[in-house]
């Protein structure tokens, strides 16, 4: 009897994508024998509504550039094309339709996992995918209230990199070489992303009038 397909799902705002994301996806791919890992840039990350987030198309293109050299990595537009606030319950139902007879492995860092109880329709999530929590410097999972057995925890090489840190460095005129792939440095420079007073058309996600 043939084994069911196993596909990883790496969701993120990716503003910008950095080597912490790529190492997490690569480690989980190898440890769980995943056929592919699908990177899914968020449309509107509703829990970051107080933050300025770069346009989805910039985040999507950066994700495509950063993953292009790995034949096991793919990028999906489902969260961007659906529109509205991004909920993982919708991401997983779209991907389940796209990948029938497949086990999905949703990858999250320790920080995101700590917050998972606040996610939309969280109870349904654990029936839709296996959740894999990866270690992240500065975060611990000790206090996270997760359903017993719902999440597998995986130790990955420690990458003390965050998108916030990368944005702050660009704003301060510091290099982000080697924190992000080379193509992402070039993309950020070309588009003038994250620079104070730059013309880059960052957007703020306020609640839509229909959500009020």
Ligand X SMILES: O=C(O)c1ccc[n+]([C@@H]2O[C@H](COP(=O)([O-])O)[C@@H](O)[C@H]2O)c1
Binding mask 81-120 for ligand X (x = CB under 6 A): -----xxxx----------------------x------xx
Distances (CA, A) of 161 to 21, 102, 191: 9, 32, 22
Residue 59 partner contact from ligand ATP, ligand X, none using kind-dependent CB cut-offs of 5 to 8 Å: none
Residue 42 near ligand X by CB under 6 A: yes
Residue 89, preceding peptide bond in cis (omega within 30° of 0):
no
**Counting contacts by CB under 6 A, is residue 77 touching ligand X?**
no
Question: How would you write 71-107 as a 3-class SS string?
Answer: CCEEECCHHHHHCCECCHHHHHHHHHHHCCCEEEEEE
Please, what is the minimum distance in Å from the beta carbon of residue 81 to ligand ATP? 18
Q: How far is the CB of 159 from ligand ATP (least distance, A)?
A: 4
Residue with Cβ nearer ligand X (40 or 75): 40
Backbone phi and psi for residue 10, each to the nearest 5 degrees, phi listed first: -115, 100
Residue numbers at the binding site for ligand ATP (CB under 6 A): 12-15, 20-21, 24, 108-109, 111-112, 134, 136, 159, 161-164
Element (H, E) at 8: strand 5-12
Q: How far is the CB of 99 from ligand X (least distance, A)?
A: 16
Comparing CB distances to ligand X, the nearer of 42 and 67 is 42
- Give the C-alpha separation, 38 to 32, whole Å: 14
Nearest distance, CB of residue 7 and ligand ATP, angstroms: 17
Distance (Å, rounded) from C-alpha 153 to C-alpha 113? 10
Binding residue for ligand X, selected from 31, 36, 47, 102, defined by CB under 6 A: 47
Q: Which is nearer to ligand ATP, 134 or 191 (CB)?
A: 134
Q: How far is the CB of 165 from ligand ATP (least distance, A)?
A: 7
Residue 86 binding: pick among ligand X, ligand ATP, none (C-beta 5-8 Å cut-off by kind) = ligand X
Q: Name the CA dihedral angle for 76, 77, 78, 83, rounded to a multiple of 10 degrees.
A: 160
Residues that bind ligand X (CB under 6 A): 11-13, 40, 42, 45, 47-48, 86-89, 112, 119-120
């Amino acid at each position: 009897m043939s084994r069911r397909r196993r596909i990883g799902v790496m969701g993120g705002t990716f503003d910008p994508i950095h080597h912490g994301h790529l190492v997490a996806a690569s480690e989980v791919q190898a440890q769980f024998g995943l056929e592919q890992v699908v990177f899914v840039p968020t449309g509107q990350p509703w829990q970051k509504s107080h933050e300025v987030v770069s346009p989805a198309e910039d985040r999507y293109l950066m994700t495509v550039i950063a993953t292009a050299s790995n034949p096991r990595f793919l990028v999906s537009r489902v969260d961007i094309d659906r529109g509205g606030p991004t909920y993982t319950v919708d991401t997983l139902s779209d991907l389940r339709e796209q990948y029938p007879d497949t086990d999905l492995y949703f990858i999250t860092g320790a920080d995101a996992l700590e917050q998972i109880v606040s996610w939309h329709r969280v109870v349904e999530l654990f029936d839709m995918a296996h959740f894999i929590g990866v270690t992240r410097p500065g975060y611990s999972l000790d206090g996270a209230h997760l359903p017993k057995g719902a999440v597998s925890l995986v130790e990955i090489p420690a990458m003390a990199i965050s998108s916030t840190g990368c944005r702050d460095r660009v704003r301060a005129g510091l290099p982000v070489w080697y924190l992000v792939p080379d193509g992402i440095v070039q993309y950020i420079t070309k588009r003038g992303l994250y620079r104070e007073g730059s013309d880059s058309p960052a957007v703020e996600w306020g609640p839509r009038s229909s959500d009020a």
